[in-house]
């Protein structure tokens, strides 16, 4: 990876950067010249991401950040803002979980419900709450949230997951309404079926619940790459995307 400059001088926070789509996003925007403040709870994955970006001539640093913890989000975003030189141009909020796939409504555990809603919905709100502060001060910025086709365009393998993503999509629309007039563009991405640990684990759980191992193979073969979806986030991070409003669906 040599940096190509398309996002030169952009100061970008990427959450969920240790794995899957977030990792591919962090690598892609760093390769285009952005400085990347990477956040996740998977410290091994986060550190290896930084090593990979640095080894290829990019600029990245990692902060352990549980997006459900207001104290951790605040301190990480403030430290990252300082490291980035005092401001944030772009927040790419990708962190999320899919638990409870294939579980019957009659058995769906409250703990699973609470944890998915906490990470996917409360996490989106907390990250936006703190990342928007320097953007509002500077009257400019870009916030890209991550929803899903699940809960927005159709159903989901998990009651809590689809519900959390429908709500995260609604939250993005509310952010858009309130922040656009302050020079902050808000988009949300609705990824399709992407080959990541989250998706593969969920499909395995669904297949096990249905006893359909044959269908599993076909489903896994049809998944698209995180790198392809990362291309969409990288474009949304760029000034060229300034005329894009609202939600973007991907493969």
Ligand X SMILES: NC(=O)c1ccc[n+]([C@@H]2O[C@H](COP(=O)([O-])OP(=O)(O)OC[C@H]3O[C@@H](n4cnc5c(N)ncnc54)[C@H](O)[C@@H]3O)[C@@H](O)[C@H]2O)c1
**Catalytic positions:** 148, 161, 165
Nearest to 148 by CA among 101, 118, 191: 191
Q: Is 191 in the site for ligand X (CB under 6 A)?
A: yes
Which range of residues in 12-20, 50-58, 135-143, 214-222 is near ligand X by CB under 6 A?
12-20
11/216 Cα distance (integer angstroms): 40
Per-residue CA distances from 40 to 33, 64, 80, 218 (Å): 21, 5, 13, 31
| Near ligand X by CB under 6 A: residue from 11, 19, 130, 230 | 19
Q: What is the DSSP letter of 118?
A: I
53-92 mask for ligand X (x: CB under 6 A)?
A: ------------xxxx------------------------
Residue 20: exposure state from Cβ atoms within 10 A (0-12, 13-18, ≥19): buried
Q: If residue 241 lies in a helix (H) or strand (E), which one and from where to where?
A: none
- Minimum CB distance to ligand X smaller for 81 or for 124: 124
The DSSP secondary-structure symbol of 225 reads P
Question: Which of 19/182 has CB closer to ligand X?
Answer: 19
CB of 118 to ligand X, least distance (A): 8
Q: Which residues of this protein are in contact with ligand X, per CB under 6 A?
A: 15-16, 18-22, 40-42, 45, 65-68, 94-98, 119, 123, 146, 148, 191, 193-194, 196-199
């Amino acid at each position: 990876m040599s940096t190509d400059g398309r996002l030169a001088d952009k100061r970008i926070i990427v959450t969920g950067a240790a794995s899957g789509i977030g990792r591919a996003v962090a690598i892609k925007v760093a390769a285009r010249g952005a400085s990347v403040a990477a956040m996740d709870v998977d410290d091994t994955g986060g550190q290896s991401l930084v090593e990979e970006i640095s080894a290829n001539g990019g600029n990245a640093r990692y902060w352990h950040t549980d997006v459900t913890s207001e104290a951790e989000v605040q301190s990480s975003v403030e430290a990252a803002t300082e490291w980035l030189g005092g401001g944030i141009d772009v927040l790419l909020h990708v962190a999320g979980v899919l638990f409870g796939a294939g579980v019957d409504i009659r058995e769906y555990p409250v703990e699973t419900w609470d944890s998915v809603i906490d990470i996917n919905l409360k996490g989106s709100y907390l990250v936006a709450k703190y990342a928007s502060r320097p953007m509002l001060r500077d009257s400019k910025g870009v916030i890209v949230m991550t929803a899903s086709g699940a809960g927005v365009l159709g159903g989901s393998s998990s009651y809590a997951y689809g519900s959390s993503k429908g709500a995260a999509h609604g939250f993005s629309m509310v952010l858009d309404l309130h922040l656009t007039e302050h020079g902050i563009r808000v988009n949300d991405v609705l990824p399709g079926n992407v080959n990541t640990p989250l998706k593969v684990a969920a499909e395995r759980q669904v297949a096990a619940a249905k006893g359909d191992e044959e269908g599993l193979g076909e489903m896994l073969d049809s998944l698209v790459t995180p790198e392809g979806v990362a291309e969409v986030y990288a474009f949304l991070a760029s000034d060229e995307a300034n005329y894009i409003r609202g939600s973007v669906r991907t493969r």
